[in-house]
């Protein structure tokens, strides 16, 4: 079953769970139809003669939830609601704090609904997750396939390059590129517009899927360590630091500040292909595995572009993955100024 089919099934399972949790007279699902809307569906509930609308985002795994992405997808919607596999108490508290309802397939739920002055609350916690067999990732979203998808997202005009060229540009095997392209084609992201000429479409949806998979499958293995500054300097003073570019470049909050001039960094992300010792010497860092505000990641792409910052699309991803809600607003500014044009 593909990820898309899994999410459709999860939506149906969530609706079925809603009927068990609340005295619903009628329930209808309205799929997303408006261009530009990022949520998955609107669920219309009839409760005691009053219609209540839930704006729903479906996530097949709460463990892979990208916080900033979820906030953006449900921003300024009626009764924002997450449908997913399992919401643990910690995530549940965070969702409630943000005013987001949730229902999971285990039966945990929080519904604080607003419609025509109708007070309605469902709050259930403590149910255990249902054990499922882990589904095999699509080839475009495996650790290696994500490198191919990233290159295509950042170079959409290169979609008709040969498989050999793509393999060289992404640092993966010919077979990985071949399988990733087939996966993208099967999922409706890659279409043949005329014989031998292909086009990458639905790029915003592809980016959202890429971010979710990157956060759980690729990024964790790239982490080289967490560090703190040797001296009592502020991470906001990142611009005063000297790094050896382009081997080492800023990501995350420093890069977002550089691109938008709208953020005072509190944490650093650094991407490098140098040794950790070299970077520690450049930035005067000390290891701090538990509380370090500076994260050092190994670059996953073989070709560096000049400059102090990694690609805006990766910076946008860093901001959305961040658990700091203040980064969500900056992410959208960066999206509008540097990322959106890649997806149009």
For the CA atoms of 309, 310, 316, 318, what is the dihedral angle to 10 degrees? -100
Q: Which residues contact 4 (CB under 8 A, 6 or more apart)?
A: 187
β-strand 248-251 against 80-84: which pairing, if any?
unpaired
pLDDT at residue 33 in the model: 61
pLDDT digits (tens, 9 = 90+) for 26-78: 888 887 665 456 788 999 988 777 888 899 999 888 877 888 888 888 888 88
pLDDT at residue 280 in the model: 95
Q: Which two tokens stand for residue 138?
A: 């699509």
Q: Which two tokens stand for residue 116?
A: 């025509």
Task: Give the pTM.
Answer: 0.79
Cβ–Cβ contacts within 10 Å for residue 205, how many? 15
pLDDT at residue 323 in the model: 76
Domains of the chain in sequence order: 3-124 (3.40.1350), 139-201 (1.10.10.10), 220-343 (no CATH)
pLDDT digits (tens, 9 = 90+) for 268-317: 999 999 999 999 999 999 999 999 999 999 999 998 889 999 999 999 99
Q: Which two tokens stand for residue 201?
A: 């479409």
Q: Which two tokens stand for residue 22?
A: 């609340």
pLDDT digits (tens, 9 = 90+) for 169-228: 999 999 999 999 999 999 999 999 988 899 999 999 999 999 999 998 999 999 999 999
Q: Contact at 8 Å (CB) between 280 and 148? A: no
> Which residues in the chain belong to E strands, given as ranges?
26-31, 41-47, 50-59, 80-84, 101-104, 109-113, 120-124, 190-194, 197-200, 223-229, 248-251, 268-272, 285-287, 294-298
pLDDT digits (tens, 9 = 90+) for 93-141: 999 999 999 999 889 999 998 656 667 888 999 899 877 655 556 899 9
Q: How many CA atoms lie within 13 A of 231 on its CB side?
A: 6
* H-helix segments, 52-195: 67-73, 89-97, 143-154, 163-170, 174-186
pLDDT at residue 35 in the model: 47
DSSP secondary structure letters along 211-249: HHHIIIIIHHHHEEEEEEESSS--GGGGGG----TTTEE
Q: Which two tokens stand for residue 79?
A: 């009764």
Whether the per-residue pLDDT at 162 is higher than 80: the answer is yes
DSSP, res 339: I
């Amino acid at each position: 079953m593909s990820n898309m089919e899994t999410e459709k099934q999860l939506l149906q399972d969530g609706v079925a769970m809603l009927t068990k949790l609340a005295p619903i007279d009628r329930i209808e699902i309205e799929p997303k139809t408006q261009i530009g809307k990022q949520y998955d569906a609107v669920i219309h509930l009839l409760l005691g003669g009053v219609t209540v609308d839930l704006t729903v985002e479906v996530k097949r795994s709460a463990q892979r939830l990208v916080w900033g992405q979820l906030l953006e997808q449900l921003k300024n919607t009626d009764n924002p609601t997450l449908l997913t596999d399992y919401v643990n108490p910690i995530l549940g508290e965070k969702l409630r704090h943000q005013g987001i309802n949730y229902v999971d397939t285990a039966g945990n739920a929080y519904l604080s609904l607003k419609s025509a002055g109708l007070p309605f609350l469902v709050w259930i916690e403590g149910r255990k997750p249902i054990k499922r067999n882990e589904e095999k990732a699509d080839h475009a979203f495996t650790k290696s396939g994500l490198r191919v998808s990233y290159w295509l997202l950042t170079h959409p005009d290169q979609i008709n390059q040969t498989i050999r060229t793509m393999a060289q540009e992404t640092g993966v095997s010919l077979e990985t590129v071949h399988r990733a392209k087939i996966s993208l084609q099967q999922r409706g992201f890659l279409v043949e517009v005329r014989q031998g000429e292909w086009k990458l479409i639905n790029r915003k949806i592809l980016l959202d899927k890429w971010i979710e998979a990157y956060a759980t499958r690729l990024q964790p293995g790239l982490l080289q360590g967490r560090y703190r500054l040797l001296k009592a300097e502020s991470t906001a003073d990142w611009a005063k630091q000297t790094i050896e570019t382009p081997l080492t470049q800023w990501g995350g909050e420093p890069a977002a500040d550089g691109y938008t001039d709208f953020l005072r960094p509190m944490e650093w992300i650094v991407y490098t292909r140098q040794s950790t010792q070299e970077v520690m010497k450049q930035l005067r860092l000390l290891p701090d595995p538990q509380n370090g505000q500076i994260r050092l990641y190994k670059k996953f792409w073989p070709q560096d572009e000049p400059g102090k910052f990694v690609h805006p699309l990766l910076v946008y991803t860093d901001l959305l993955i961040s658990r700091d809600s203040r980064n969500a607003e900056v992410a959208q500014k960066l999206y509008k100024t540097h990322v959106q044009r890649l997806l149009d």
